[in-house]
Structure 1
């Protein structure tokens, strides 16, 4: 959907659920677009999601992505492997610098850009277990699968107020047996926050994890301070690293964590630059990212031929 030297209606950066849904809408609007996908969507880590309507038995992230790509590609070849390493804004277009999978580089011009680059979870520092979240040994979304963990013994790996918030969320929603693991960091909480711990019966273990036991690709026990702790489920609440560098390089408004602030059409503070999915400030859910995509793609279709500068009629 667009040859070298052409100006696309839209460039989509990222091939996760939000990027693929953006592409589906633009394809059906008969717009000329391209998705550049680095092949590292966070959704691929999901073992099974039960929060996506119409999949009563749940669906894995890999299967969801495969179905979305197959659905989109019936409209034509529109996904290209590679990584967008730079983005410049000109009066009537954006210029993206792309590093292809084969190591070559090229440039793509587009009137509008949708960033669906997402985020990556900060991995817990567990002994001899790298990438525990990616490998599914530690979960990262109690909104997605907390229901399946109900009434079980749950540990939350986190520090500070954010970790307390997630532990309280789990304790008041799914389980009365919740422990907060700080992996050796002192938990700095005020009196009101300490009262929250007591109110929900949340235990705190601040000593570092010395070793752990594995069985059948599952963490069965953690050894902390000479004691053995066993949990049915471990969650990480260490936060996200947002892949928002391209937007920040153009001066897009963001919060202190780097997630992007958008308007009701999912347009950033940079005219013509949109964002969808986990990269947007708010709740990190696949269905929310798909909603972002619908808003952004429809606005792009309706205003694609107007200027992207801050001037009357710009959009």
Structure 2
């Protein structure tokens, strides 16, 4: 129970790197808070990351989360397994409905809320994708691990302007052997787009991909006619589904994809409601999410005793 009449200083929704970093800061600020974690962080899909500072040999996403949770244990931080299924705002608090894995429900009151619910990769409709992801043959983030694929034969599953942009990013940064797979969707190109593909030597395969064939450290995409296209790694660039429904239900501003707009303190357009990690509009990186968490937690600590703008006397 929180000391302030049963009202927490902060509720953190999500137990990935951003949520757990928020919790670490608030614990060290000696704040009353609770983390509600559904146990499905996007980071857990990362086989090995080499762009997390200080982990020169690389670290898996699961290990990042495990280490963060272990770090919190020394502060006695509360992490509750479950899902926040409802969130409403009252003049001086937020009320969250939390559903436990056993089907039980309870309500939690908090002065501030940090949404660290992240996003889910839109997977290509292909068989055995999870296994290919765990083996590092199908990846989602060339910013994270494109360096490990440098000078290799790379395919990008995507279509439209976003797909072209992803393929060009990889071709101009890491490899001159890039193929764009559109999964049967015709790629309507204007002269500028065609020029970019030509400039970087990007090949386009528009026929549907019916299966993936994995052998050793290589992956093949087999189209409807049985033709096989072999690659060292395949990047899926079909976008993300943002877990932002709770914030949007309160009226938080967001872009067309559902990622949340925040200010310099990572506060959304709903006063007292913050966001950190992949759910925030911008670059999706663990270190960026940790930065969001530091900004949000510090601002929360500095304003916990102050009313929010829509409260009487709010600043």
Q: Same fold (TM over 0.5)?
A: yes
Partner of 2:183: 183
Whether the 8 Å CA contact 1:197–1:203 is kept in 2: the answer is yes
Whether the 8 Å CA contact 2:44–2:65 is kept in 1: the answer is yes
Partner of 1:220: 219
Query: Which TM-score applies when normalising by structure 1?
Result: 0.95
Partner of 1:139: 139
Partner of 2:29: 29
Task: Please tell me whether residue 307 in structure 1 is matched to residue 310 in structure 2.
Answer: no
Work out the CA distance in 2 between the residues paired with 1:42 and 1:291: 17
Distance 1:122 1:219, change over 3 A: farther
Moved more, 185-194 or 101-110: 185-194
Gapped regions of structure 1 (runs ≥ 5): none
Q: CA deviation at 1:5?
A: 7.0
Work out the CA distance in 2 between the residues paired with 1:212 and 1:235: 13
Query: What's the Cα RMSD here?
Result: 1.8
Whether the 8 Å CA contact 1:278–1:289 is kept in 2: the answer is yes
- The aligned runs of 1:172-251 (5 Å cut-off) are 172-216=172-216, 220-224=219-223, 225-251=225-251
Work out the CA distance in 2 between the residues paired with 1:144 and 1:77: 30
Structure 1 residues 186-231: Cα deviation after superposition (integer angstroms, max 9, x where no partner): 1122110111000000000000013332335x66322224321100
Q: CA deviation at 1:134?
A: 5.3
Distance 1:72 1:166, change over 3 A: same
Distance 1:123 1:5, change over 3 A: farther
- The aligned runs of 1:140-155 (5 Å cut-off) are 140-155=140-155
Partner of 2:128: 129
Work out the CA distance in 1 between the residues paired with 2:189 and 2:4: 56
**Equivalent pairs, count:** 313
SS of 1:111's partner is strand
Structure 1 residues 129-173: Cα deviation after superposition (integer angstroms, max 9, x where no partner): 254675454100000110000000000000101111110000000
Whether the 8 Å CA contact 1:123–1:133 is kept in 2: the answer is no
